[in-house]
């Protein structure tokens, strides 16, 4: 017969093991597939919006791992090539796609950009991941027609694939020149909290 104190220790161990297993199993992984806007270009390491996202999630006791797979200069074509290996390695529950700006700045055809986005979203969804697209816009000097067509890509892809979308990732930043670095393209460290806030509520809906 097992002594009473050992019996209770065994019971406690079983409950603890179940709790740890359940906690581990309930954790989620967010993969950010982006370019320099998410890769902390020109700002202090750890001050970018993705790093701030990780800190906010931890502060709110959310069991979420954030993987920043952003590379400065990346395009939708590059993201499409990189994604399969990232999905296999990290098995994310949510994929945030912050791409397209470099495609637009190069004046690439809208149809090609949209096709790449559709392929990226399809790859992510095949693994069961939920997708959040971060919408971008082109500066006025690229012409009204191209700017309009480019901005429409994100809404079109989101509707076609059933993905979530942030209408404009640079909302409250784009109109404020003081929130950009000397190159006039990359947001400053002070702009990062605004970028996070633009993403936050949309992301919370996917985490529920």
**pLDDT tens-digit profile of 35-51?**
999 999 999 999 999 99
Architecture of domain 27-207: 3-Layer(aba) Sandwich (3.40)
- What pLDDT does 140 receive? 84
What is the average per-residue pLDDT within 59-70? 97
Least confident of 10-24, 60-74, 120-134: 10-24
Distance (Å, whole) CA 192 – CA 198:
10
What is the average per-residue pLDDT within 164-179? 97
Query: Do the Cβ atoms of 96 and 32 come closer than 8 Å?
Result: yes
CB neighbour list of residue 136: distance below 8 Å, 6 or more residues apart: 100, 101, 104, 150, 151, 154, 168, 169, 170
**Token pair for residue 126?**
């095949």
- What pLDDT does 116 receive? 98
- For 137: left if phi > 0, alpha if psi spans -120 to 50, otherwise beta; the answer is beta
Cross-strand partners of 67: 31
The rounded percent of the chain whose pLDDT value lies above 70 is 88
User: pLDDT category, 12, cuts 50, 70, 90?
Assistant: very low
What is the average per-residue pLDDT within 84-101? 98
The rounded mean pLDDT for the chain is: 90
Residue 111 has pLDDT above 60, yes or no: yes
Model-level pTM?
0.88
- Give catalytic residue positions: 36, 183, 186
């Amino acid at each position: 017969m097992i002594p009473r104190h050992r019996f209770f220790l065994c019971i406690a161990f079983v409950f603890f093991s179940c709790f740890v297993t359940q906690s581990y199993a309930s954790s989620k992984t967010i993969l950010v597939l982006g370019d320099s806007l998410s890769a902390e270009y020109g700002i202090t390491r750890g001050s970018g919006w993705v790093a701030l996202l990780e800190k906010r999630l931890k502060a709110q006791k959310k069991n979420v791992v954030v993987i920043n797979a952003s590379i400065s200069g990346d395009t939708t074509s590059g993201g499409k090539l990189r994604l399969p290996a990232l999905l296999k390695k990290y098995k994310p529950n949510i994929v945030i796609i912050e791409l397209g700006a470099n495609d637009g700045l190069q004046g690439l055809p809208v149809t090609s950009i949209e096709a790449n986005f559709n392929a990226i979203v399809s790859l992510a969804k095949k693994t069961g991941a939920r997708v959040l697209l971060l919408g971008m816009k082109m500066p006025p000097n690229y012409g009204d027609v191209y700017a309009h067509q480019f901005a429409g890509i994100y809404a079109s892809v989101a509707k076609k694939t059933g993905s979530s979308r942030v209408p404009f990732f640079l909302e409250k930043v784009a109109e404020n020149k003081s929130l950009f670095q000397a190159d006039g393209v990359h947001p400053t460290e002070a702009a990062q909290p605004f970028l996070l806030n633009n993403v936050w509520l949309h992301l919370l809906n996917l985490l529920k």
